[in-house]
Amino acid sequence: MYKFHARLAFLVFLSMMLFFHGGNASAALTKGIYITQSTLENTTYINYLIGRAKKVGITTFIVDLDRPSSRYQTNIQLLKNNNIAYVARITMFPGGGTPEQVHSESYWQKKYQLVKHALAYGANQIQLDYIRYNTKQPPSSQNAKDILKVIQWFKSRVNVPLQVDVFGVSSFGESKYIGQNIKLFSSSVDVICPMVYPSHYVPFDVHVKIPYKTVYDSLASIRDQFDSDQLPFKLIPYIELSNYHYLLSHEKKLNYIYAQIQAAENAGADGWYVWSPHNRYDSLFQILETRQVK
């Protein structure tokens, strides 16, 4: 009888371990789309996007905040009512910062006013984009240290998770021109969003044909920058809906998008965000409706 109970207890324990392990392994990925402020304030269209997004498992809208407005605040509530997370995207240095901007706390304060509005509107997380020098800056490791100070300044003032966007090239190591260094930033952010768009890698004619490899190799390279298998931040890459260098047929575009999604998931990312500058996501919705995606 003792052996029976011991074996039963072991089986129950094993079942619980498998349940919890399986739950972690299949934990829901973050799936998001980028939304401009003008799109958010178009009530008819944002309701359309909400409806389509919910049907295919999109959990997050990354929404620009360029200026506070009552319509913006009202329509953010539409996201909340539909259980869609609101990540406020703040463009720090449009086109990349100058040395004067990067070192100016008064300039940071102006951007922080937008952050405070976003938090008042109910932002679940804050995302800093264009958090970099412009490409005219002479290359130096000091550049990334300067950008880190800006990130840390915001991190100390924000009571929700902080995300930063980085160029895809920084997936392979420090970018000394623009001042982006994932390893250096890693302890001061909660989420890193590398923009691993195949259209941004040269040679362009090669990477348009290998979107899976382009995205996968970029994300794998980020992991290679750390000694541990466990990254000290969540990794949620941006992928793109189309390649602006080349006109793709509808079917090729679907394959192009699907390859990037599969690469992000197979590389162990915590999810993915999809970028469409005009917020036209019907191709993405079609993929998620018809193809097996985690």
Q: Determine the Cα–Cα distance for residues 147 and 150; give it in Å rounded to an integer.
A: 5
| pLDDT attached to residue 13 | 38
3-state secondary structure (DSSP) of residue 153: helix
In this structure, what is the dihedral angle of CA atoms 197, 200, 205, 208, given to the nearest 10 degrees? Answer: 10
Give the residue among 89, 113, 94 at the shortest CA–CA distance from 40.
Answer: 89
132 DSSP assignment: S
Does pLDDT of 19 surpass 70?
Answer: no
What's the pLDDT score for residue 226?
A: 93
CB 237 within 8 A of CB 201: no
Every domain of the chain and the residues it spans: 29-290
- Token reading at 11: 């089986």
CA dihedral 114, 118, 123, 128 (to 10 degrees): -10
> Percent of the chain scored above 90 by pLDDT?
86
Shortest CA distance to 191 belongs to which of 131, 118, 126? 126
List of residues 6+ apart from 2 with CB closer than 8 A: none
- Give the model's confidence band at 16: pLDDT under 50 very low, under 70 low, under 90 confident, else very high: very low
How far from chain centre, in Å, is Cα 105? Answer: 26
Find the helix packing angle between 250-266 and 282-290, rounded to 10°: 70
One-character DSSP codes across 52-94? HHHHHT--EEEEE-SS--HHHHHHHHHHHHTT-EEEEEEESST
Report which residue type is found at 28. Answer: A
pLDDT at 25: 39
Res 2 pLDDT > 60: no
Whether the pLDDT of residue 249 is over 50: the answer is yes
Q: Are strands 234-235 and 271-275 parallel, antiparallel or unpaired?
A: unpaired
CB 87 within 8 A of CB 121: no
54 pLDDT above the threshold of 90: yes
pLDDT tier, 44 (very low <50, low <70, confident <90, very high otherwise): very high
Q: What does the pLDDT look like over 179-215, one tens digit per residue?
A: 999 999 999 999 999 999 999 999 999 999 999 999 9
pLDDT at site 229 = 76
Distance of alpha carbon 117 from alpha carbon 75, whole angstroms:
14
Q: Which pLDDT belongs to residue 119?
A: 98
- Name, in order, each residue with C-beta under 8 angstroms of 119's C-beta and a sequence gap of 6 or more: 88, 126, 158, 159, 160
Residue-level pLDDT at 18: 35
Average the pLDDT over 247-262 and give the result: 95
Give the contacts of 205 (CB within 8 A, at least 6 positions apart): none
**CATH entry 3.20.20.80 includes domain 29-290:** yes
Residue 276 scores a pLDDT above 70: yes
